[in-house]
Chain A
Amino acid sequence: MADTLQNPNPNNISAYYQTRAAHHGVVTSDWLAQAQAAVGRHPDDVLPPEPEVKVAGKPFSVIHEFNNWRNQPDLAEAVAAIRALAAVIRNSEATTMMELEIELKKASDSLKSWDTTSISLTAGCDLFMRYVTRTSALEYEDFNSAKSRLIERAEKFGEISYKARRIIAMLSQDFIFDGCTILVHGFSRVVLEVLKTAAQNKKLFRVFCTEGRPDRTGLRLSNELAKLDVPVKLLIDSAVAYSMDEVDMVFVGADGVVESGGIINMMGTYQIALVAHSMDKPVYVAAESYKFARLYPLDQKDMAPALRPIDFGVPIPSKVEVETSARDYTPPQYLTLLFTDLGVLTPSVVSDELIQLYL
């Protein structure tokens, strides 16, 4: 398993964030080069044989499948993983349920270890496994019917995850009123969908985008919003508190939703949530339900590190350390509501859902 699943970037550099950066499509040339390298490297890693996936020797690689899906910037990584796993079941040559489950577990593990820093990937795989195997289909006499039932559930889960964004966009429409000002941080495709839907519903609102260094997510997002004719204002990250008076609500996405109800998101989210909380502005999180992970960080350092090299534009002396963590943890007391495909939830419900699923 180890040989196929190398994280293309050792030294804890998060492939997840590299990939996301690649998807953002950036401005500077060296940035572009970096992104190209990041994107370009992955298919190569896929080629090694995949003994852990297929016993019968059929050349099916879950990683390969995963990368096929993943290369579409619009597709969430976890959804790509879920679809790849569904494909595993479909292409499986196992003859007993146990064998199929073992195969599925191996494929899931291989996907997870491909990038250990991606919470949604891990959570998505885990949830898929629980969802699919936790069914009475496994008690059917006939293996084929059980297998088809599994495939059915897997595809349904894939569909749900794929459609999750649309459901979330629909749910959040009630919270965007005419004349409101929304502060957005990071480039979340879910939040973009929310804003797109609101614009299509002819709501009048304006958006403040934080610059989102070092990925410059704000630039990309403002680009997209400008295409939708939504008034956008760009702020540098330090100007958030300055502008918070004019803001009516904060909208962020999430890389992962943890058991306490808090979220793990791009660096800077915690800061913004703290400012918003102290000024009594609601913080809304748009996250699909497959991002619910069984993690429970107690503080910022209690998570697996996910590092992302930062390009300052000028060379930095070697004696100077740089904080390269790509994400932070926002505790649940600073979040107002979570918009998920399961509905509009308060942070304490996340644990309820997880307990029900896992127990």
Chain B
Amino acid sequence: MEARRGWRAVPKVRQVGFFTPNEPPPPARTQSGPPDSNSPPLSNSPAGNSLSPVMIPPPRHLSDNLAHRATSPLPVPETSAFRRPIPGGDRVAVVGSYNPTDSMLGASPPLTSPSSRIGDGEFSEESSPGWFRRSNSAKFASSFPGGGFDLTSIKSSETLEVEVKKPVEVPGPNIAEKSGVAGAELQTESQSSSKPLKAKTTKAERRALQESQRAAKAAAKGEATGKPAISSEGAATSKPVKQQPSRKKDALPAATSVAASDRKGVDRPPEKERKKEVPPPRMQFDDKNRVEKAKKRAVVNQTEARNRVELFRHLPQYERGSQLPDLESKFFLLDPMHPAVYKVGLQYLAGDISGGNARCIAMLQAFQEVIKDYSTPPEKSLTRDLTAKVGSYVSFLIECRPLSMSMGNAIRFLKNRIAKLPLSLSESEAKESLCSDINRFINEKIVLADKVIVRHAASKVRDGDVLLTYGSSCVVEMILLYAHELGKQFRVVIVDSRPKLEGQALLRRLVAKGLNCTYTHINAVSYIMHEVTRVFLGASSVLSNGTVYSRVGTACVAMVAHAFRVPVLICCEAYKFHERVQLDSICSNELGDPDAIAKASGRMDVNYVDNLANKENLQLLNLMYDATPLEYISMIVTDYGMIPPTSVPVIVREYRREHLWI
């Protein structure tokens, strides 16, 4: 313990900004972990905190909530100990003790069946803000009866290691948990948190395994990630925060493989203890350990991309090209995976399905198939087992492509429904009820909501208007077609951008219906904005502080429109609202294929960047989403009517209540 405290004293810091990736690591922090010191070049300054700046310590009350749900036979004092957010020296020490191989999970109590954990995690998600979800589930996990897991031993780093190992052993649901993708839905997070906890049962062998691995790692790498992890642990501002990163790391392995030069990871082990209180954070992909571990559990073989921008190291990025053929070849080998889910995953990976609504509907329909084909294994309860299965499928989908917020909300809804099934129902009745619930969700929250939105928004289109839209949003397309059918006279300007060029498909469809369209790229948006009267934009999600999270480029268009005093209307269904608050586009985002921006298709003469991908000092960044602040938005059109962006938390509050009543 003392040693761990020492570790805590040295904060782990991540360099942000431009720097050469090959700098020698700073002097090793004094950590008792693996000899390798700090993590790769990045996390070197001792002053910083390895935790992502956006981590927020979870509230204490979460533990109370979780306490109610705890079903674990664990001795009360221990569980309560875990609940305390800032524990005494022990817990702190554990958190601080950073042993990269040790663990992703803090000393969490024995893992119970994944399904229960996931279920509870889900509950906790619902009751608490996103950041806290993971810790909640972690907490839960800790309270579950474990395979003779000794809580006191958790505090030791060894235990942590054991925990880390466990996830590897437990397939399925664990994978789901581990593969929390940065920016993935909370749900994933809770799953990830629950995963590590499960692995407690074979703590001894895991510990041994970890130590050997650690030794191997130390030998293999000059700078072990362990060091950074340790230092970060030490530096943890708060335990929960630490737990979060560690959780994330766990999740990460499932999703990505850690490149050799991965940076510091967050210290997982110390956080395991905290996990119970802290909702698992999203998976941060800059911890090599976690990434390794997640990778072991991954269904999809992904190789991490090489030159990655430092600022976005916490997001997963893979090299494309190999994933799809790899998955396709494994089609008949993946036993636990349902073919419908596999198919949807492949479609995501290939980019055949894109757009929040389409992805959500495809996923829900795949889950309907899963439920129809599901039969409860003997000795298991339907709710728990099904929740576990759903969790594992979700983790697979995350590996294919990180979840969008709409999908996250839908998954949370589904898990909620599964959990609320009355025990008296027979299996077939339960399955039928779930299928009809899914149908109702799709119908009410998406299909009918779109109709209401279209009606409201079309009333804002007047004759003589010039409407501008960016990219391709299915709702905006519906609005334009409906207004056209109503006979309104207007022009449309479609702004598009590389590399996806989604606007071209929209252009084709609109022109086919007879609308007057203009097409331009985003670099001309300020040129064309003076003649525009209204801007209609879609959204992937709207956050509680009114920030609109949408396709990258939307913020630009909204800003230019604001400068020209053109009203900006966001059209978004209410199920995409989220209570999270995001201040920038960095802390949570999705990284696309960097090669897509390097190559300009069809133009051989301008492919200058093509061969430079392997250069050390060139880093390619292909962001998928960005955050538009609420000052640029005039109105949000939802199925609840037209609301100002400041009223989003009101809708989240009301909607959430209704959601729980369903």
Residues on A facing B (Cβ under 8 Å)? 259-261, 294, 296, 298-299, 302, 332, 348, 351-352, 355-356, 358-359
Contacts and interface: CB of A to CB of B under 8 A. Distances in A.
Contact of A351 (B460, B569, B647): B647
Contacts of B651: 355
Interface in B625-643: 634-635, 640-643
A223 B165 CA distance: 85
Task: Give the residue among B534, B569, B647 with the most A Cβ atoms within 10 A.
Answer: B647
Contacts of A356: 650, 654
B647 A352 contact: yes
A355 B567 contact: no
Contact of A359 (B569, B640, B644): B640
A260 B644 contact: yes
B365 interface: no
B21 to A, nearest CB: 45
Nearest to A296: B642
B347 interface: no
Given A294-B641, A298-B460, A355-B651, 11 more contacts: A259-B641, A259-B643, A261-B644, A298-B567, A332-B644, A348-B646, A348-B647, A351-B643, A351-B646, A355-B640, A358-B641
Interface of B: 460, 534, 567, 569, 634-635, 640-644, 646-647, 650-651, 654
A134 to B, nearest CB: 15
Given A351-B646, A359-B654, A302 B641 contact: no
The 6 closest A-B pairs by CB, nearest first: A348-B646, A351-B647, A298-B567, A296-B642, A260-B644, A352-B650
A87 B647 CA distance: 36
A299 B567 contact: yes
A332 B645 CA distance: 12
A350 to B, nearest CB: 9
A261 B643 CA distance: 10
15 contacts: A259-B643, A260-B635, A298-B534, A298-B569, A298-B635, A299-B567, A348-B646, A351-B644, A352-B650, A355-B643, A355-B647, A355-B650, A355-B654, A358-B641, A359-B640
Given A296-B642, A298-B460, A332-B644, A351 B650 contact: yes
Nearest to B655: A359
A39 to B, nearest CB: 35
A108 B5 CA distance: 72
B648 to A, nearest CB: 10
Contacts of B634: 260, 298
Contacts of B646: 261, 348, 351
Contacts of A299: 567
Given A355-B651, A359-B654, A259 B534 contact: no
A294 B534 CA distance: 20
B644 A348 contact: yes
A211 B646 CA distance: 36
A302 B634 CA distance: 13
A142 B5 CA distance: 72
A323 to B, nearest CB: 19
Contacts of B460: 298, 302
A21 to B, nearest CB: 30
A296 B635 contact: yes
Contacts of A348: 644, 646-647
A259 B637 CA distance: 12
Contacts of A359: 640, 654
Contacts of B635: 260, 296, 298
B657 to A, nearest CB: 10
A349 to B, nearest CB: 9
Contacts of A351: 643-644, 646-647, 650
A356 B642 CA distance: 14
Task: Give the residue among A259, A261, A296, A359 with the most B Cβ atoms within 10 A.
Answer: A296
Contacts of A260: 634-635, 644
Task: Give the residue among B460, B640, B642, B644 with the most A Cβ atoms within 10 A.
Answer: B644
Task: Give the residue among B534, B567, B643, B654 with the most A Cβ atoms within 10 A.
Answer: B643
Contacts of A259: 641-644
A332 B628 CA distance: 20
A352 B654 CA distance: 10
Nearest to B533: A299
B633 to A, nearest CB: 11
A262 to B, nearest CB: 9
A352 B567 CA distance: 21
A237 to B, nearest CB: 24
A206 to B, nearest CB: 35
Contacts of B644: 259-261, 296, 332, 348, 351
A218 to B, nearest CB: 30
B569 to A, nearest CB: 8
Nearest to B637: A296
A78 to B, nearest CB: 22
Contacts of B640: 355, 359
Contacts of B650: 351-352, 355-356
A355 B643 CA distance: 9
Contacts of A296: 635, 642, 644
A317 to B, nearest CB: 28
A259 B641 CA distance: 10
A348 B460 CA distance: 21
Nearest to A261: B644
A261 B646 CA distance: 10
A352 B534 CA distance: 25
B371 to A, nearest CB: 31
A43 to B, nearest CB: 36
Contacts of B642: 259, 296
A332 B634 CA distance: 11
Nearest to A262: B644
Nearest to B646: A348
A261 to B, nearest CB: 6
A301 to B, nearest CB: 8
Task: Give the residue among A298, A356, A359 with the most B Cβ atoms within 10 A.
Answer: A298
A98 B634 CA distance: 39
Contacts of A355: 640-641, 643, 647, 650-651, 654
B463 to A, nearest CB: 12
A302 B567 CA distance: 11
B293 to A, nearest CB: 45
A352 B460 CA distance: 22
Contacts of B567: 298-299
Nearest to B569: A298
A143 B644 CA distance: 40
Nearest to B643: A351
A172 to B, nearest CB: 23
A23 to B, nearest CB: 33
Nearest to B658: A359
B564 to A, nearest CB: 13
A356 B657 CA distance: 13
A357 to B, nearest CB: 11
A259 B567 CA distance: 15
A299 B644 CA distance: 14
A298 B565 CA distance: 11
B76 to A, nearest CB: 41
A302 B654 CA distance: 29
Contacts of A332: 644
A131 to B, nearest CB: 18
A331 to B, nearest CB: 9
Task: Give the residue among B534, B635, B650, B654 with the most A Cβ atoms within 10 A.
Answer: B650
A302 to B, nearest CB: 7
B527 to A, nearest CB: 22
B304 to A, nearest CB: 44
Nearest to B648: A351
Contacts of B534: 298
B517 to A, nearest CB: 22
A298 B570 CA distance: 13
A324 B534 CA distance: 26
A296 B647 CA distance: 13
A28 B655 CA distance: 56
Nearest to A331: B634
